[in-house]
Amino acid sequence: MPRQTKVNLMDHPEEKKSNNSMSAKPSGSRKAKFVEGSILKHVVNMTAAGSVGLLAVFAVDFANLFYISLLGQTELAAAIGYASTIMFFNTSASVGLMIAGSAVVARALGAGDRDLAKRRASSAIAAVILSMVLIVMLVFPLIETLLYYIGARGETLEVAVGFLQIVVPSLPLLGIAMMLGGLLRASGDAKRSMYVTLSGGLASAILDPIFIFGFDLGVTGAAIASVLARVVMILVGLYSVIKIHNLLGKTTLASIWEDWKALFVIAIPAVLTNVATPVGNAYVTAAVAPFGDDAVAGWAIVGRIIPLSYTALFAISGSVGPIFGQNLGAGLTHRVRQTLTESVKFILAYSILVWLILFLAQDWILLMFSATGETAEFVAFFCSWIAASGIFMGFLFVSNAAFNNLGYPTYSTAFNWGKATLGTIPPVMLGASLYGAKGALAGQAIGAVVFGLAAVLTCLYVIRKAHKPEDIDKDDTPPLSRPALSPFSSGKSNM
């Protein structure tokens, strides 16, 4: 990979003003939360709070599939699996924008410039609205084509198309809700960030049975409930961001343009990074599809088990970003290193526990979804063996968060795309040809092991070599991008 272009935030007038005035404490300044106290405590608290909110959302998704399975048609469960694959692309773009907004706001708060943070928060909201509208305009006309491409056919295709035609237009609502949650995490308010996702989960839990069974709308009812839940999330998020934190400030077109320069330096590679995962997921779906709807239904169940059981891993990827950002903005490099090492310890302990629980509970899971035949074999194989790969998935998640906040966003992009291509296509293709649908799942897990380890080792190297304490002046905000450093080559990023 070519060397990265060094982009220094000090080139932006706002950043220069912020950092030159650190000692004078800019007006409206407030001490950043994560620059003092126990790193492990911050990691655990932020992750726990984030997990509660995500757990509510993932549990509702889990319940959605359970409700659909009660209708007694394998095609409906398979349709949800196909639709989720397409939605994964769109959601990943929102996550990338949220990562960027959280990072630039956390840096401003860490540097003590609250006015800049407020202005950047407003610009981030504007960016996510515009981006999501453009994605809707691109994806909506292609819904049927995209579903057909990943293997949906017949009634399964028809049901999946109807679901996405309702959900896809609500993407701007999802983007706003996610950005509001990210802004709250950037300010250190894990509790209210949790409330945003928790409110959406609770709304879905109430609305799903009403629309699916009460109004007898089936999969269509699940889609309508999802849209309404996103509205609830926005209302809760706006209250916390505006009324509690006063984190949205007035801005102008000129200021938005300046803020977007800093935002999209992170957002573009972050979006590309996050889109890589659904690309790999789509390939696995397409590899499983030839083995029939029973296999795809099993894949859909696994797709609900993974986020529900590994909620903390998904939460930690969004929760540790502000911890990295605030400490780097304050020049506390030793705390940056400690954030990574404590996160790795947490991931190891949590993932091993989850693997054990899934192994012991697999019969109950099969019974709950009335899974039989190939569907049951697929799910049991995951619970017994593949669930262990969550350890390395967590390593990749926390490394991506570190890269995005330390000024190496293209490293995240490289590792995720490496996993989605070299770490997915060859092993999944080989596994599927040798062992069928279960072989495809095993191939994906092998890629996660290789790239998860490579990512966390590279991240440790970058922190130790590129961010030495003497290299960072506490009055300077680190650049968003630096020359590439890698333990595997000289001056070039590797996956």
pLDDT digits (tens, 9 = 90+) for 320-379: 888 888 888 888 888 989 999 999 999 999 999 999 999 999 999 999 888 899 999 999
Residue 331 is predicted with a pLDDT of 82
**Residue 409 per-residue DSSP state:** H
Give CA–CA dist 48/311, Å, rounded. Answer: 9
pTM above 0.85, yes or no: no
How many alpha carbons fall within 13 Å on the CB side of residue 488? 14
Q: What is the pLDDT along the chain (495 residues), one digit of tens a residue?
A: 444 433 343 344 444 444 444 344 444 445 678 888 889 899 988 888 778 766 766 766 777 777 777 777 778 888 888 988 888 888 888 888 998 999 899 889 988 899 999 999 999 999 999 999 999 999 999 999 999 999 999 999 999 999 999 999 999 999 999 999 999 989 988 889 889 988 988 888 899 889 988 999 988 998 999 899 999 999 999 999 999 999 998 888 889 999 999 899 888 887 887 788 888 989 999 999 999 989 999 998 998 899 889 989 988 877 888 888 888 888 888 898 999 999 999 999 999 999 999 999 999 999 988 889 999 999 999 999 999 999 999 999 999 889 878 888 889 889 989 999 999 999 999 999 999 999 999 999 999 999 999 999 999 999 888 655 444 443 333 333 332 223 223 232 332
The structure tokens listed for 374 are: 């190939």
In the structure encoding, which two tokens stand for residue 428, read together?
């999944």
The domain limits of the chain are 33-471
- Chain centroid to CA 481: 21
- In contact, 428 and 286? CB cutoff 8 Å: no
Q: 388 with 348: CB under 8 angstroms? A: no
Mind listing the pLDDT tens digit for each residue in 264-322? Answer: 988 888 788 778 888 898 999 999 999 998 999 999 899 889 988 998 998 887 788 88
- Identify the CA nearest to 469 among candidates 480, 456, 481, 478: 478
Q: 489 pairs with which residues across the strands? A: 486
CA distances from 139 to 128, 171, 439 (A): 16, 11, 31
Check residue 15 and give its pLDDT. Answer: 43
Residue 298: per-residue pLDDT: 93
**CA–CA dist 236, 180 (Å, integer):** 9
- Residues 6 or more apart from 415 whose CB is under 8 A from it? 273, 396, 399, 400, 403, 451, 454, 455, 458, 495
Q: Looking at residue 60, what is its pLDDT?
A: 66
Q: Would you state the pLDDT for residue 231?
A: 95
Residue 160 and residue 79 in contact, taking contact as beta carbons nearer than 8 Å: yes
Match 């961001």 to its residue by tokens.
241
Q: CB neighbours of 156 closer than 8 A, spacing ≥ 6?
A: 75, 76, 78, 79, 82, 293, 296
